[in-house]
Every structure is written in C-alpha cells, then in structure tokens.
Amino acid sequence: MHCTRKVTDNLYWVGANEHRLALFENIHPLTKGVSYNSYLLLDDKTVLFDTVDWSVCRQFLENVAHVLNGRKLDYLVINHLEPDHAASIDEVLLRYPEVKLISNEKAFMQMRQFGFNIDERYEEIKEGDTRSFGKHTIAFVYAPMVHWPEAMVSFDTTNGVLFAADAFGTFNALDGVLFADEVDFDRDWLDEARRYLTNIVGKYGPHIQALLKKATPLVPSIKFICPLHGPIWRKDFGYIIEKYDKWSRYEPEVKGVLIIYASMYGNTESAAVALATKLREKGVKDVAVRDVSSTHVSWLISETFKYSHVVLASVTYNLGIYPLIHNYLMDMKALNLQQRTFAVIENGTWAPKAGGLIREFLDKELKQITVLGDELTINSSMTEEKDVELDSMADSIVESLKG
C-alpha cells in the first residue's frame, strides 16, 4: 500500500519511515525512528531524487509506482551515496530498465565500489551544470563532506526546490508530517535535529559553512528545502539556517551550563547536583545535569554544542579518567568541538588523577577553549571545606557567563 504526500505541483514525497532501527549508523540510538526521504518530480520526464535505505525499500517502491501511475521512470538523481539513501538504487535499476542515473564522478566511483550494476545507464554531471527535464531545470551544486565527499545538492530553478541531501536533516520518523511548519519544531524536533547534525556531520563545520556560502545567492529563490531525513522547510528558513550556521561555526546556542558527571557510588554525583543547585541559586537559568553512564554520548555531544559552559566531574578510575568520560572527550575531539568554557571536578580515594588528565586533554586536544581555575579535587566525598571551593567555582562560572 502506497504512502505518499504532495510537496508542491508535480513533486511528491515517496520516502518511508523506519521505526525498528535501534541504532542509526549502528551507533546513535533512535528513540522515535527516522525517515528516509525520496522525491519524485513529474515533468515531461520523470525524475526521482535519491532512494532509501534497504529496510524500507518495499514501501518506497510502492510509493514510486503509485506516483508514476503507469509512466516510466526516466531519471534518478543521486545527491548522496551513503547506503541509507543509496541502497535501493540497484532495485530501481532492476524495475525501471530505461532509467538513467545522474550524479557526479565520485558518486559513480562509489556506486561501483558498492557493487551496483549501473552499466552504461548513467550521465555524469559536474559542479554548476544544469539539466532540463521539461519545464523544470535543475542545477547541481557540490557539497563535499556534507556528509561524504560525493555529496551534492540539486536546485530546481523553476519552482525553488532545494534537494539538500543530509543538510537540514533530522532524526525522528515523519509519521504523516511532511512540513516543519506542521509541528512545533523548536519544542519537539530541534534537539534531535541538533543531535543528528552534530554527531553525523559535526566534524565538517567548515564544509557546512562553505555550502551555506555557496547557497547564499540562491536563498531569495528557495521556496522549499527538502532534506533526506525529517520534515521539509517551506517557511522560517532564517530559523533553521541560523541554527546550522551556529552549529557549524561551533558557536553555542545558549549561555548556560551543562554538568556531566561520572560517579560509581554517588559522591561525585552529589557534587554535580550541589553545583547545579548553587548555579540556580545564583540566578543561572539554563543548567543541565547529565550522568555519563546513563546518557548516550550522542546526546552529550549534542548538548555540548548547545551550551556555552561545560563542567566535567569525574571519578578517578585505575589512575585514569572514567572510561565513559574519556570516550565523550574523544568524541568531542573527533567532532571538532571548540570555543567552550570548561570547569573540572575530580574525585579519588587514594590517588585522584582524573582532573589533571581531563585538563591536559582539553588543553591539548580542543581548540579555543577556556578552563576556569584549577580543578576541584574531592577525596571520596564532599566536605564543608570543599563546599566553599564548589561555591567559588559556581561564582567563577557565573562571572564567566556574563562575558
């Protein structure tokens, strides 16, 4: 049974929702699924933009057949070759033997690597090329490393539709939603959009910046932004473009404090909560406390991109940093996180080491960061004396938030 929606005249969403996948890229937990978007344009020629993951191929094929309504499929434009969008290419080639693939040299090379049987059924385009399919003319713009090297976006100059590939995508299944303005995006979707972007493409901020710059002249003529995951944008472009601009410049969204702690027996946890309480008491409105052991690192990364200040509180573990804090630090480095202010709390019963090691990591491995004061050392549990130190840590965070 088909399940499609009309985007605008002659353009249809023919993607599908995935609810059963637990881990996106086999690493990031999905709590409300994900959508794989594909779009079908009915012009003098019929043109499909990208396919879907193998897991939802059947639904996708039913959708394509329904919208084609007996017409043949003439072209398949591939903006991104990652298998969550490209896995069903083979199936399209089998079912529509006259279809021609349109993409760039790198994408065709990757298609061969993945073993797709494309024969002679392809047309290679280059950056800035345009192709007309009847009334609609499509321009192709390279978007390298957003999210893979072959990635590109396609812009329909006739109706202002931007096929944005992974850019402007988000986790969460659509489940009937098609447009971002049909939901309270800021309340219900933004956290997952940030988690998607920062974890999947966070490392490539400068490449996103390059794409935003290239797209700037197009912005006045953009009417729809159609990503490969999540809802389509047809208004409030400024809202989502500003978010992307901030995330890709590693600029915090809010002045606030994210406290991430590692604690086996609860003493470091108590210190983390005490600090949050002091900060609230001193008037800081945005404070979040997260247990590294029960919060998947993809959420920690997302919130680290959101907040201006991060407090790391870790027990010492075999003379080292608690492994999950270490993993989070490594992820921060891998994703190029920078321009944050940190404070560090360590705990140890016989040889506290975590704080010094965290500080060393921050100083050596992250760019443009500030670490406030010395690390605060707890010897097993908090004392009145340490509470005074915690209070001055809170004061210096409050002071720094004013900057």
Ligand X SMILES: Cc1cc2nc3c(=O)[nH]c(=O)nc-3n(C[C@H](O)[C@H](O)[C@H](O)COP(=O)(O)O)c2cc1C
Which residue from 351, 364, 368, 402 is in contact with ligand X, where contact means CB under 6 A?
351
| Separation between Cα atoms, residue 403 and residue 398, nearest integer Å | 9
* Residue 267 interacting partner from ligand X, Fe ion, none (CB closer than 5 to 8 Å by kind): ligand X
Using rule CB under 6 A, residue 209 touches ligand X: no
The answer for 134, left when phi > 0, alpha when psi is -120 to 50, beta otherwise, is left
- Write the DSSP assignment of 288-352 as a string of letters: EEEETTTS-HHHHHHHHHHEEEEEEEEEEETTEE-HHHHHHHHHHHHTT-BS-EEEEEEEESS--
3-state secondary structure of 380: coil
Q: How far is the CB of 296 from Fe ion (least distance, A)?
A: 19
Closer CB to ligand X, 61 or 276, in the complex: 276
Using rule CB under 6 A, residue 294 touches ligand X: no
Is residue 396 within 8 A of residue 367, CB to CB? The reply is no
* Residue 352 interacting partner from Fe ion, ligand X, none (CB closer than 5 to 8 Å by kind): ligand X
Which residue from 69, 350, 368, 385 is in contact with ligand X, where contact means CB under 6 A?
350
Which residue from 268, 302, 341, 377 is in contact with ligand X, where contact means CB under 6 A?
268
Which residue from 100, 136, 147, 207 is in contact with Fe ion, where contact means CB under 5 A?
147
Which residue from 27, 94, 319, 330 is in contact with ligand X, where contact means CB under 6 A?
319
Q: How far is the CB of 333 from ligand X (least distance, A)?
A: 23
Q: Where are the alpha helices (DSSP H) in 162-281?
A: 185-188, 190-201, 205-215, 237-248, 267-281
Cα Rg of the chain (Å, integer): 24
Polymer length of the chain: 403
3-state secondary structure of 403: coil
Q: Which stretch binds Fe ion (CB under 5 A): 41-49, 158-166, 285-293, 297-305?
A: 158-166
Which residue from 43, 53, 74, 82 is in contact with Fe ion, where contact means CB under 5 A?
82
* Residue 84 interacting partner from ligand X, Fe ion, none (CB closer than 5 to 8 Å by kind): Fe ion
| Separation between Cα atoms, residue 300 and residue 1, nearest integer Å | 39
Work out whether the CA dihedral 20, 23, 28, 29 comes out positive or negative. Answer: positive
| Separation between Cα atoms, residue 197 and residue 313, nearest integer Å | 26
Which residue from 79, 263, 304, 341 is in contact with ligand X, where contact means CB under 6 A?
263
Q: How far is the CB of 321 from ligand X (least distance, A)?
A: 10
Q: Retrieve residue 21's tokens.
A: 């996948």
Q: How far is the CB of 24 from Fe ion (least distance, A)?
A: 9
Which residue from 81, 125, 260, 315 is in contact with ligand X, where contact means CB under 6 A?
315
Q: How far is the CB of 271 from ligand X (least distance, A)?
A: 8
Q: How far is the CB of 266 from ligand X (least distance, A)?
A: 5
Q: How far is the CB of 115 from ligand X (least distance, A)?
A: 46
Helix axes 297-306, 323-334, angle to 10 degrees: 50
Per CB under 6 A, residues contacting ligand X are 263-269, 315-319, 347-352, 380
Per CB under 5 A, residues contacting Fe ion are 82, 84, 147, 166
